[in-house]
Amino acid sequence: MEDVVLFRASEIFSALSNPVRLRIVEYLCHGERSVGEVANHVQIGHSGASQHLSFLARTGLLVSTTKGKSHIYKIRGPRVQEILRLIDEFCHVHVLYGIPIDLGDQE
CATH number among 1.10.10.10, 3.10.20.30, 3.90.1150.170, 1.10.3470.10, domain 3-93: 1.10.10.10
The β-bridge relationship of strands 62-67 and 70-75 is antiparallel
Residues contacting residue 80 through CB under 8 Å, at least 6 positions apart: 25, 29, 61
Query: SS3 of 105, please?
Result: coil
| Confidence (pTM) | 0.86
What pLDDT is stored for residue 95 in this prediction? 81
What pLDDT is stored for residue 92 in this prediction? 87
What tens digit of pLDDT does each residue of 4-63 get? 999 999 999 999 999 999 999 999 999 999 999 999 999 999 999 999 999 999 999 999
Contact at 8 Å (CB) between 88 and 94? no
DSSP states of 14-79 as a string? HHHTSHHHHHHHHHHTT--EEHHHHHHHHT--HHHHHHHHHHHHHHTSEEEEEETTEEEEEESSHH
The ranges assigned to domains in the chain are: 3-93
What tens digit of pLDDT does each residue of 63-76 get? 999 999 999 999 99
pLDDT at 102 over 70: no
